Amino acid sequence: MSTGSILQANDASAIVNTVKQVMHPLFDQTYLLQYLIKIQALYACIPPAAIQTLHEKLALTEAQIKSVISFYSFLSIDYQGKYRILFSDNITDRMAGNQSLFHQLSEAIKGADASIDFTSCTGLCDQGPAMLVNGHAINRLDTQRINDIAQLVNNNESLTNWPDNLFKIEDNIRRGDIQLNARAGDGSGIKNAMNLGYQKTLQILQNSGLRGRGGAGFTTAKKWQLCKQSEAVQRYVVCNADEGEPGTFKDRVLFNSSAHSVIEGMTICAYVIGAQKGFIYLRGEYLYLLEHLNDVLQRRREAGLLGQKILGKLNFKFDIEVHLGAGAYICGEESALIESLEGKRGMPRIRPPFPVTEGYKNQPTVVNNVETFWSVSRILLKGSNWFNKLGTKESTGTRLLSISGDCERPGIYEYPFGVTLQKIVEDCGGIETQAVQMAGAAGNTVLARDFDHQVSFEDLSTGGSFILIGGNRNLLDMLTNFADFFKHESCGFCTPCRVGTSLIADTLHRFEKGQGCSGDLQHLKKVLKLMQKSSFCGLGSSAPTAFLNVLENSPDVFDCGMSVESAEIYFDLNAATAEYKKITEPGEKGI
């Protein structure tokens, strides 16, 4: 654990030296985000002297630097305390009671050198409620754990001395199929690819029918082919490990249990497209995997599987660097991720051009999901028939599902495509399941009557998230949670998404308070449809999905939030005049 103590930010010349050390030896603009993450960890804020130094050394304006700081939720100008505690606030955390634990801890550590807040899903949905303390994840929170943590904070105990068992994260692999049961990653996949040559390797991938596992489902072989065909000085391989979709945690498990396979998949890609450099963009919430990943990378360099002359082949050199994210869901969108890799705000780019022709540093770049690379490593060992004999026509093979919510056995399940929702719900021990939230907050809400549908690109597509909603839950709570999530995570670049997500949240909160009206729902529907049609990127166009699903298939969910006072518009005159009454109360004239 790296963060022992927080440095005092009162000595400007000391800060200048520290920041210079952080930038050493590259002093590279495209590392701005990485520098800022390190500075934040050291000072629990980005001190003014640090901004000044970055500005001088990187030839960036202060405004540019501040714009990056303000974009990422884990970076801040204000001091966050020796302990920055962020409670994961996914719907699964709420189901497990994170709100009361949050209040318990807030009360218990009043006056301590600490800050406490909520953050978006931290990918520990199968073992929530969860929190991050200075970026390090703690799972299975309960009153006992909160007491322990409060004591550690109040005793000013350095994070390095906190008991290890607090930070123990479980994999919870519940159901393996051909891929989880196969072993790969020892270099033989790369060897096979090199023996076959890149054309035959692409052919195998093409025959396997592998499609990207991030959600969009673009054919992997086609993506690599397009990248290879593009004219370029350099080509890049990027592994998208910004697993931000609420309810998804398979990438965390893959990195923890088979990082070698993922990196082998990236190396095979590098061989095929002719890349020399690769990145793993690891979401900041998975900070605790960083050391492990760097360790695996180092071991592979030593084994001749990365670096110069891979497997003895003279002109095949390729290395991988891990870049951290800093709490921005939008960076899971591939063009926003590339912007972030370049050290900038994670704003999506206009597509086309797609990253396969103009990606990182405007060079052809393959961006694939962690699971996609992991599958590549297996397909290159076992062959395309081994893979495509399972699944459906358009969705071959198997995929990993991250299952959480109201079920007895949450965790990772591998299923061949085409499995019905009913089967999955039974396997994981769904408790009076009324609905399944597919593909996270941005996905479909599928009611129990539709559980005969299949998981596949043809039917119900998913990036891997599968949240079960039990019979005693109110779907309105889930929608309100998602509305807040999107409002927070919208990057603010385009109006339909920036304003739309706020309007959704405002409306849902009115219903939460029992102040909704039928007019609100009509208006909401209009806003949602407009967002779908006119948003700049996938965030804005997919955010309305769950809301529209519920509005169309189960509108009675909103009934409980309807105001009895007015069928049209709710306006609370008492609340609106409360402030005035207080000001003009006798004896309180405000003078």
Structure tokens, 24: 């050493």
Cα distance between residue 87 and residue 116, in whole Å: 8
Kindly tell me the burial class for residue 155, based on how many C-beta atoms sit within 10 Å of its own C-beta (0-12, 13-18, 19 or more): exposed
Task: Fill in the per-residue mask, 337 to 376: x = in contact with other proteins (CB under 8 A), - = not in contact.
Answer: ----------------------------------------
Asked whether position 576 contacts other proteins by CB under 8 A, the answer is yes
Q: Looking at the DSSP assignment, which residues form a beta bridge with residue 319?
A: 277
24 versus 589: smaller Cβ distance to other proteins: 589
**Strand arrangement of the beta sheet that strand 433-438 belongs to:** 173-175, 411-416, 398-405, 465-470, 433-438, 445-447
Q: CA of 187: how far to CAs of 190, 194, 251, 262, 386, in Å?
A: 5, 11, 21, 11, 19
Helix (H, G, I), strand (E, B) or coil at 4: coil
What DSSP line would sit under 236-266, residue for residue?
A: EEEEEE---STT--HHHHHHHHHHHHHHHHH
Asked whether position 589 contacts other proteins by CB under 8 A, the answer is yes
Among 61, 199, 257, 584, binds other proteins (CB under 8 A): 584
Q: Which stretch binds other proteins (CB under 8 A): 417-425, 442-450, 466-474, 563-571?
A: 563-571
Q: Looking at the DSSP assignment, which residues form a beta bridge with residue 455?
A: 460
Beta carbon of residue 585, minimum distance to other proteins (angstroms, whole number) = 8
Q: Report the site for other proteins in 74-113 (rule: CB under 8 A).
A: none
Beta carbon of residue 576, minimum distance to other proteins (angstroms, whole number) = 5
What is the CA angle 70-76-82, rounded to 5? 165
Among 314, 350, 564, 573, binds other proteins (CB under 8 A): 573
552 versus 568: smaller Cβ distance to other proteins: 568
Asked whether position 579 contacts other proteins by CB under 8 A, the answer is yes
Asked whether position 564 contacts other proteins by CB under 8 A, the answer is no
Number of shown-chain residues binding other proteins (CB under 8 A): 17
Q: Which stretch binds other proteins (CB under 8 A): 289-297, 386-394, 400-408, 565-573?
A: 565-573
Q: Report the site for other proteins in 513-532 (rule: CB under 8 A).
A: 519
Asked whether position 590 contacts other proteins by CB under 8 A, the answer is yes
Cα distance between residue 188 and residue 415, in whole Å: 25
Q: Which stretch binds other proteins (CB under 8 A): 223-231, 277-285, 416-424, 567-575?
A: 567-575
Among 14, 26, 59, 583, binds other proteins (CB under 8 A): 583
Q: Report the site for other proteins in 53-72 (rule: CB under 8 A).
A: none
Q: 456 with 395: CB under 8 angstroms?
A: yes
The residues, any chain, with a CB within 8 Å of residue 68's CB and separated by 6 or more, are 32, 33, 36, 75, 343, 344, 345
Among 233, 314, 564, 591, binds other proteins (CB under 8 A): 591
77 versus 578: smaller Cβ distance to other proteins: 578
- Name the DSSP class of 557: G
| Residues lying near other proteins in the complex (CB under 8 A) | 519, 568-569, 571, 573, 575-581, 583-584, 589-591
